[in-house]
Amino acid sequence: MTETDAPTTVRRGPGRPPSTHAQEAIRVAARRLFSAKSYGGVSVREVAAAAGVDPSLVIRHFGSKEALFLQTMTVDESFRGLVEGPLEELGRLILERLLTVRGGAAVSTYAALIGAIDRPEVRSYLEASADRHVVRPLAERLTGPDRHLRARLVATQVNGLLFDLRGRPDAGLAGRPTAEVLQVYARALQALIDDPTA
Amino acid sequence: MTETDAPTTVRRGPGRPPSTHAQEAIRVAARRLFSAKSYGGVSVREVAAAAGVDPSLVIRHFGSKEALFLQTMTVDESFRGLVEGPLEELGRLILERLLTVRGGAAVSTYAALIGAIDRPEVRSYLEASADRHVVRPLAERLTGPDRHLRARLVATQVNGLLFDLRGRPDAGLAGRPTAEVLQVYARALQALIDDPTA
DNA sequence: TTGATTGAGTCAACGCCGTTGGCAGAAAGG
DNA sequence: CCTTTCTGCCAACGGCGTTGACTCAATCAA
Mean pLDDT score of chain A, rounded to an integer? 89
Check residue B175 and give its pLDDT: 62
What's the pLDDT score for residue B20? 83
Of B126, B78, B86, the residue nearest B105 (C-alpha) = B78
Q: What whole-number distance in Å separates Cα of residue A43 and Cα of residue B81?
A: 42
pLDDT digits (tens, 9 = 90+) for B68-118: 999 999 999 999 999 999 999 999 999 999 988 887 788 889 999 999 999
CB-count burial class (<10 Å; 0-12, 13-18, 19+) for B74:
middle
Q: How far is CA A104 from the centre of its chain?
A: 11
Return d(Cα A144, Cα A130) in angstroms, integer: 22
pLDDT of residue B173: 67
The pLDDT of residue B169 is above 80:
no
CATH topology of domain B76-193: Tetracycline Repressor; domain 2 (1.10.357)
The pLDDT value given to residue A18: 72
The pLDDT of residue A41 is above 90? yes
Of B128, B66, B124, B134, the C-alpha closest to B97 is B134
Residue contact A149–B40, C-beta within 8 A? no
Q: Give the percent of chain B with pLDDT over 90.
A: 76
* DSSP assignment string, B38-106: -TTTS-HHHHHHHHTS-HHHHHHHHSSHHHHHHHH---HHHHTTTT-S-GGGHHHHHHHHHHHGGGGHH
Q: Report how far residue A171's alpha carbon sits from residue B53's, in angstroms, rounded to the nearest whole number.
A: 47
Q: Which of A155-169, B69-83, B135-149 has the lowest mean pLDDT?
A: A155-169
CA of B17 to C1' of D14 (A): 34
Lowest mean pLDDT among A9-18, A32-41, A68-77, B116-125: A9-18
Lowest mean pLDDT among B10-19, B21-30, B146-155: B10-19
From the CA of B36 to the C1' of C16: give the distance in Å. Answer: 21
Tens digit of pLDDT for each residue in A102-150? 877 888 899 999 999 999 999 999 999 999 999 999 999 999 999 999 9
**Looking at residue B8, what is its pLDDT?**
43
What is the pLDDT, as a whole number, of residue A174?
60
pLDDT confidence of residue B174: 60
Residue B96: closest CA among B111, B78, B77 = B78
Q: Which fold has domain A19-72?
A: Arc Repressor Mutant, subunit A (1.10.10)
Question: Nearest CA to A104 among A157, A193, A177?
Answer: A177
pLDDT at B2 exceeding the cut of 60: no
The bases of strand C with some atom under 7 A from any protein CB are 3-12, 16-22, 25-30
Q: Is the pLDDT of residue A90 over 60?
A: yes
Q: B21-36 and B55-62 are packed helices; what angle lies between their axes, rounded to 10 degrees?
A: 100
Chain A residues closer than 8 Å to B129 by CB: none
How far is A8 from B94, CA to CA, in rounded Å?
56
How close B149 comes to chain A (CA, Å)? 7
pLDDT at position B104? 77
Give the Cα separation of B40 and A140 in Å (integer). 38
Q: Which residue ranges make up each domain of chain A?
A: 19-72, 76-193
Query: Could you give the CA distance from residue A17 to residue A37 in angstroms, rounded to a whole number?
Result: 34
Residue B162, CB half-sphere, CA atoms under 13 Å: how many?
32
Mean pLDDT of B140-168: 93
Contacts of B118 in chain A (CB under 8 A): 38-41, 115-116
Q: Do A155 and B163 touch (CB under 8 A)?
A: no
Q: Is A159–B158 a contact, with Cβ atoms under 8 angstroms apart?
A: no
Say whether pLDDT at B192 is over 90.
yes
Q: How far is C-alpha A99 from the geometric centre of its chain's CA atoms?
A: 13
Residue A167: list chain B partners with CB under 8 A: 123
Please tell me which of the candidates B38, B135, B191 has its beta carbon nearest to residue A187. B191
